[in-house]
A and B are shown apart, each in its own frame.
Chain A
Amino acid sequence: MVPAIQVENVSKHYGTLQALDAVSLTVERGEFFGLLGPNGAGKTTLISILAGLALPSGGTARVMGHDVVSQYRAARRALGVVPQELVFDPFFTVREALTFQSGYFGLRNNHEWIGEVMHHLDLDGKAETNMRLLSGGMKRRVLVAQALVHKPPVIVLDEPTAGVDVELRQTLWQFIRRLNHGGHTIVLTTHYLEEAEALCGRIAMLKQGRVVALDTKQNLLRLHSGCYLELRLEPDRLPERLEPLVSRRREGGYRLALADYTEVERVIAELRAAGIAIHELEVMQPDLEEIFVQIMRKS
């Protein structure tokens, strides 16, 4: 079966800036795929190339088997993109914006599906409201709806939950999960790694325009064999011998990275010897955020 997205050796440079450097990855149909990376890693550039907003300097990209340059019409019909920026057309109401977007893709009289999308995104009550009168969260919902009006098999969400409230996140993820279960391929970029961990089956990590990790979520989480120890101490300090283990300093506590569980005993002994009382102690498995930080440091 043709993959949903196939990227082969795609490069992109803006003058001397190399935004993407020979990126290759494949997203199979029906996957929930995460594209992670720090700011400037090239995530949005890659999405822009898939959507035809940017032209690759080298390599090829395909959406549902259609080349994004030579077969751009078929490729764009297969793709729905939720852009990162909160953009809107101030001349139109929500319903007009969605009806136009559907018509652009050749689907006129698409009222039933537009109504369904509005319903699932809690936009029913705002259908006749001008776009400029909506709150930021509502505008974000409309952006999601605009990406879905032509029922694309592949949906790309470029940081869709940046700056939105918990309610919208829940509504959005519920709807996106439903679409994914219905066979839609989802590609998600986000800075909220707990979202990626909860939703994505496979994840690619980009840094400075290159893919530095690409695997299933489970395999990525297994990259770290040790565990973490979350501590709240009284007094709030660590003995000098434990300082090298600090992974993260949190307000009122520490997170220590341990090579394995046997080290827990040693940490407790060191704290006792230093006369430091343990108020809270939790042994944790590494999460995606830890893996992400490690991979970004190493690469």
Chain B
Amino acid sequence: MNPSPIAGFWTLFQKEWLRFWKVSVQTILAPVLTALLFLVVFAHSLRGHVEVFPGVDYAAFLVPGLAMMSVLQNAFANSASSLMQSKMTGNIIFVLLPPFSHQEFFTAYLLAAVARGLIVGAGVFAATVWFVDLRFGHPLWALVFAAAGSGVMGALGIIAGIHSDKVDELAAFQNFIILPLTFLSGVFYSIQSLPPFWQAASHLNPIFYMVDGFRYGFFGVSDVSPWLSLAIVAASFLGLSFLTLWLLRTGYKLRS
């Protein structure tokens, strides 16, 4: 039997897919429930008090933000936790011994992260769409930002998983970098409502452009041009991808 040129990559992707699918209560259902709770609490307490976009109910405004936050956090968690757990248990050896190229290794982990992010995002919509009047003005924009955003976070997750030697390090990465950046990215508000300093600071946060561009796909309204957001998200993706590929090529923290 002759080896197939893409079978290795495809098998690694399947393994990564099955890894999160087998524990879908924890990897898919739990984040959907969390997003639903956010919606119930925030929408109920702020209904009638806040109108971020003209004519858009706050709960409707919130849903795309919550969905994108879930997409991004879960894409990151998928690649980061998979690599981290494999390193800690030692079974990383099973993916280091085969003849994967750096690109195959990267793409398989990345696509699995994107897949989980998108599935969780779809789950959040499926759970929340019944409670709000949601428009889908530019669905292609929404899809592009969901895919590109989860790609960025999937790549960042690979870097975090490779770099972290202990659970604490990964938790610090998640708690002190990913969580603040997602919470301060305009998930719950428009940055137009912030003081000038924080508006300027928000423009330095790449996740802001992911959320803003994604929301444009629904309401056709955004804080910055979706083209600018797309350019920044694409640049972030390319930069992180090159960094990840370089880490894999040098064997950083994977091959001694």
Contact = CB atoms under 8 A, between A and B. Distances in A.
Nearest to A78: B99
Which of B19, B98, B100 has the largest count of A CB atoms less than 10 A from its CB? B98
Nearest to A101: B94
B90 interface: yes
Interface in A30-63: 48, 51-55
Interface string B207-224: 000000000000000000
A103 interface: yes
Interface in B1-19: 1-5, 7-8, 10-12, 14-15, 18-19
Interface range on chain B: under 10, 10 to 19, 20 to 34, or 35 or more? Answer: 20 to 34
Contacts of A72: 99
Contacts of A150: 3
Which of B1, B96, B99, B100 has its CB near the most chain A CB atoms (within 10 A)?
A: B99
A115 interface: no
Interface string B1-39: 111110110111011001100110000000000000000
Contacts of A107: 1, 3-4, 7
A76 interface: yes
Interface string A83-112: 101011111100011001101111111100
Contacts of B5: 106
Given A85-B90, A146-B94, A104 B100 contact: yes
A243 B23 CA distance: 66
A100 B19 CA distance: 12
B101 interface: yes
A230 to B, nearest CB: 42
Contact of B99 (A48, A77, A108): A77
B201 interface: no
A72 B248 CA distance: 14
B89 A90 contact: yes
Contact of B97 (A76, A100, A109): A76
A74 interface: yes
B167 to A, nearest CB: 16
Interface in B161-204: none
Interface in B67-107: 86, 89-91, 93-101
A52 B96 contact: yes
B11 A103 contact: yes
Nearest to B3: A106
B11 A100 contact: yes
Contacts of A54: 255-256
B56 to A, nearest CB: 42
A52 B94 CA distance: 12
Contacts of A79: 97
A55 B256 contact: yes
B100 A89 contact: no
B251 interface: yes
Nearest to B108: A104
B3 A91 contact: no
B14 A55 contact: no
29 contacts: A48-B256, A51-B96, A51-B97, A52-B255, A53-B255, A55-B255, A75-B99, A83-B90, A87-B90, A87-B91, A88-B91, A89-B86, A89-B89, A91-B19, A92-B18, A97-B94, A100-B15, A103-B11, A103-B14, A104-B8, A104-B94, A104-B95, A104-B98, A105-B3, A105-B98, A106-B3, A106-B4, A106-B8, A107-B3
Given A74-B99, A92-B15, A104-B100, 11 more contacts: A53-B96, A88-B89, A89-B89, A100-B14, A101-B94, A101-B98, A105-B98, A106-B5, A106-B8, A107-B1, A146-B94
